[in-house]
Amino acid sequence: MELTSVKLQLLVAGLAVAALVATVWLWPRLSSRRWPAVLGRVGVLVGDQVLTLTALGLIGNSYFGFYSSWPDLLGTDTATAPITVAGVGAGIRVLAQHAVRGGRIEQVIMPGRTTHLSEEAYIFLPTAYFTDKHQRFPAILSLTGYPGDPRNLMTRLDLPGRMAKAIAEHQVKPTILVMMRPSVVLPRDTECVDVPRGPQSQAYFATDVRQDMIDSYRVGSGREYWGLLGGSTGGYCALKLAMTHPDRFSAAVSLSGYYKTIIDGTTGDLFAGDKTVEQRNDLMWRLAGLPAPPVNVLVTTSKKGEGNYQSTQRFLAAVKPPMQASSLILPSGGHNFNTWNRELPQALPWLAQQLHAPAAV
């Protein structure tokens, strides 16, 4: 069975329950102080815990999308896929494509010509992209949290379906989605930082990914064509990319994002002791110490359940023109997909409406 299959989750959960029932049934027979009975008690307790933890691990992995297959989990996945040329250039490799409601999704590899980084992406092309072949379209770069799986943006948040619905209902003009994870050198979390003498993660998204799309697809090159959206770490990256590169992005949405680089065991030293690099990755410092960028942002949080409520209030209070900031604050909601699914019906159309409509090539 596949690692993420519901059948496997139900099977292991059923075995865990059955083992617990068997333990209760057998316990009187294992009550002796003789060593076989002692070993039996240890064995059934260990077995119960292993099955319970395995069941919880399978459910958690399926929910958060940490590993997609057994080889992925074991680190033995060496499979490759044939490269299909689909009319794109500039080094982008198309691995697969399939039709979806309202358009097509292409699975690609985004090469970093300036940073030498490379990452998987899923691109949603609306139907109008194929019918209006003399138009350039706006694009939204959408980022997961850490460690993240870009497929969660489709399976858990349904960004392509939401975009197709908004287009069909004439809420927004046809817009391309570029769905990725911000962690380009897993397992390290680089927090979209250009690490001194290390991975240039911010430049990868701000320069390489953007230019790959402009060169390979009919995406507008002006800042007014480009927006950013992300959740958690992806939300922090979305805000930072917009504020740091207002010449390339005009708007951003941060779902439960934060405002300062998180440093922990997954990141290592991202600043190499350089205080200037640390400050420039602190969004509150940027608001206080640098000219306000001419971008429009939307930040979301909840009064109960989110850890970023107070910091979001401070961020909103610090914004100065020409930067504009809006907020979507729920009464309650945790740091999870369920909360973001409640926010996206407003947040995604809001972002697309900030961008330039398709224009003639």
Share of the chain above pLDDT 70, in %: 93
Output the pLDDT for position 59. Answer: 84
Contact in structure between 94 and 84 (CB atoms under 8 Å): yes
Out of 74, 101, 132, pick the residue that ends a domain: 74
State the virtual CA torsion across 303, 190, 202, 158 in degrees, nearest 10: -50
Instruction: Determine whether 269 is exposed, middle or buried from the number of CB atoms within 10 Å of its CB (0-12, 13-18, 19+).
Output: exposed
Output the pLDDT for position 85. Answer: 36
Output the pLDDT for position 251. Answer: 98
Which of 245, 155, 153, 139 is CA-nearest to residue 192?
Answer: 245
Output the pLDDT for position 86. Answer: 36
Number of domains, the chain:
2
Contact in structure between 261 and 278 (CB atoms under 8 Å): yes
Instruction: Determine whether 246 is exposed, middle or buried from the number of CB atoms within 10 Å of its CB (0-12, 13-18, 19+).
Output: middle
* Number of neighbouring beta carbons within 10 Å of residue 332: 10
Domain match, 351 and 222 both = yes
Domain match, 340 and 247 both = yes
Which pair of tokens denotes residue 289?
A: 């110490």
Residues 89-139 have pLDDT tens digits of: 447 889 999 999 999 999 999 999 999 999 999 999 999 999 999 999 999
Specify if 86 maps to a domain.
no
Specify if 263 maps to a domain.
yes
pLDDT, average across residues 272-295: 96
Residues 15-67 have pLDDT tens digits of: 889 888 888 887 787 777 777 777 878 888 888 889 899 888 888 877 656 66
Residues facing 135 on adjacent strands = 360
Could you give the CA distance from residue 173 to residue 128 in angstroms, rounded to a whole number?
A: 9
Contacts of 316 (CB under 8 A, 6+ apart): 299, 325, 327
Mean pLDDT of the chain: 90
Specify if 1 maps to a domain.
no
Domain match, 44 and 149 both = no
Domain match, 136 and 241 both = yes
Domain match, 189 and 337 both = yes
Domain match, 179 and 251 both = yes
Domain match, 147 and 19 both = no
Residues 62-90 have pLDDT tens digits of: 765 666 667 766 666 554 444 333 334 44
Q: Which domain holds residue 234?
A: 93-360
Specify if 84 maps to a domain.
no
| 190 pLDDT above the threshold of 70 | yes
CA contacts within 13 A on the Cβ side of 164: 16
Out of 45, 74, 103, pick the residue that ends a domain: 74
Domain match, 345 and 261 both = yes
CA 270 to chain centroid: 20
Give 43 or 216, the one with higher predicted confidence: 216
Contacts of 288 (CB under 8 A, 6+ apart): 318
Output the pLDDT for position 29. Answer: 75
| 184 pLDDT above the threshold of 90 | yes
Domain match, 16 and 148 both = no
Output the pLDDT for position 83. Answer: 33
Residues 315-350 have pLDDT tens digits of: 999 999 999 999 999 999 999 999 999 999 999 999
Output the pLDDT for position 78. Answer: 52
Q: How confident is the model at residue 10 (pLDDT cuts 50, 70, 90)?
A: confident
Contact in structure between 86 and 94 (CB atoms under 8 Å): yes
Q: Looking at residue 245, which CATH number applies to its domain?
A: 3.40.50.1820
